[in-house]
A and B are shown apart, each in its own frame.
Chain A
């Protein structure tokens, strides 16, 4: 796998990590929790290499 592609997987993982962290800390807004889950869909699937 080329280096640049590996770096992009790392960027995806970093952003997904921040979203997971926010999701776990979110206690009040159900709307925000749902939005975190939605945004995580493409990022997590890309990290798992599921098309």
Chain B
């Protein structure tokens, strides 16, 4: 049996490698691995060939809810950006805190954290606020290499930040753990690690500019833009979330996608300039395409791996690894799985890992939060390097990619240590989950 499943796994790996070799995208490479794995499994009727198409389509539905959250949240953030809200906040940060460097850096970090925290995708943070924040960091006298490093780490952390963390959502869905109680286990480390990163990488001022000159160079904001126009949509969004917590029996269960739609409609209504919503939505969906396709294909891959027994084999491999070795390997396996499979790594390696950690008495929710800190690091690793490449792009850094990545070594190391310690001591940190609920 092991040999048979091992052969199916080898065929999937070869199919993925061949597809990558032929320069197919990561999503199509994963799809070819899923299809080839399914066909190989059909030779031994796991699954029967007649059931293969059903498994693939059924797998495509696995993350439909995540797809809806991604889409609606990103359209909401795109409306805020298009209305001039992002430029307004970045400009105000520089205007009032240009000489208070620590506060300016922390505020710019929070601006990068918000879109990723709301959408679950660090790439959305970079697409929505990356360019103006990179500009502001440049005015604070930070080199382009360090700007790219700050954006990469903080955008990665934003994807891990609550309320929407896709890795945690995938793991929760796959291990039948409710997606609740993640606010503090994720929020506290993200804020501490983000603050450390932005201060460590952004403290050194390479050049100084006059504030008046900086403000003249920054992008203009619409004349009628004001604080309440920026804040109101966010207040409505968080208000809906809080209302459902405080009044659970008298508030209808709207769900995150509908809450984002309501917030988007408010943002559209209070926008000081006219927004062509259909064109904006179409453009947003185009930008989101690789992320959405990844979610669909990961679902298919997961379904085929389950039907063929490959997922069981990997689970067995995980629970057979000596625990000390496993903790050491996490620092490599988790980021590499993200670099190769993007969110697929969470489904394929993360789910059996959480089953195992739960079975040895660790707290699953805190362990998931700890793992969630490690996955974003892989977004700087090839072949995908999604956030890494975007960070380089928006910061207009032109030198070697590896030089940029090397400059993130200390935040990378500290995030890795914090993530692994959170898993190791997850049972002791269980109070964070209790306080979140």
- Which A positions have Cβ atoms within 8 angstroms of B? 4, 7-8, 11-12, 14-15, 18-19, 21-22, 31-32, 34-36, 38-39, 41-43, 45-46
List of A residues within 8 angstroms of B297 by Cβ: 38
Complex Cα spacing A15 to B70, Å = 11
Name the CB-closest residue of B to A26: B286
Complex Cα spacing A8 to B252, Å = 14
> Is the pair B68, A15 in contact by a Cβ cutoff of 8 Å?
yes
- Which B positions have Cβ atoms within 8 angstroms of A? 24-25, 27-28, 31, 57, 60-61, 64, 67-68, 71-72, 252-255, 257-258, 261, 281-282, 284-286, 289-290, 292-293, 296-297
List of B residues within 8 angstroms of A21 by Cβ: 282
Complex Cα spacing A20 to B289, Å = 12
Of A18, A36, A42, A45, most B-chain CB atoms within 10 Å: A42
Partner of A39, one of B24, B67, B253, B261: B67
> Is the pair B281, A39 in contact by a Cβ cutoff of 8 Å?
no
Least CB distance, A4 to chain B, in whole angstroms = 6
> Is the pair B68, A35 in contact by a Cβ cutoff of 8 Å?
no
Complex Cα spacing A41 to B28, Å = 15
Can you pick out 18 interface pairs between chain A and chain B where the beta carbons lie within 8 Å of each other?
A4-B252, A4-B253, A8-B68, A8-B255, A8-B257, A11-B261, A15-B67, A15-B71, A21-B282, A31-B28, A34-B28, A35-B293, A38-B297, A39-B292, A39-B293, A39-B296, A41-B57, A42-B296
Name the CB-closest residue of B to A25: B282
Of A22, A39, A45, most B-chain CB atoms within 10 Å: A39
Complex Cα spacing A36 to B254, Å = 27
Secondary structure dominating the interface of B: helix
Complex Cα spacing A11 to B256, Å = 12
Name the CB-closest residue of B to A36: B289
> Is the pair B293, A11 in contact by a Cβ cutoff of 8 Å?
no
List of A residues within 8 angstroms of B286 by Cβ: 22
> Is the pair A35, B60 in contact by a Cβ cutoff of 8 Å?
no
List of A residues within 8 angstroms of B25 by Cβ: 31, 35
Other A-B pairs beyond A18-B281, A35-B27, A36-B289, 19, CB < 8 Å = A4-B252, A4-B258, A7-B261, A8-B255, A11-B72, A11-B257, A11-B258, A12-B68, A15-B67, A35-B292, A35-B293, A38-B60, A38-B297, A39-B67, A39-B292, A41-B296, A42-B60, A42-B296, A43-B67
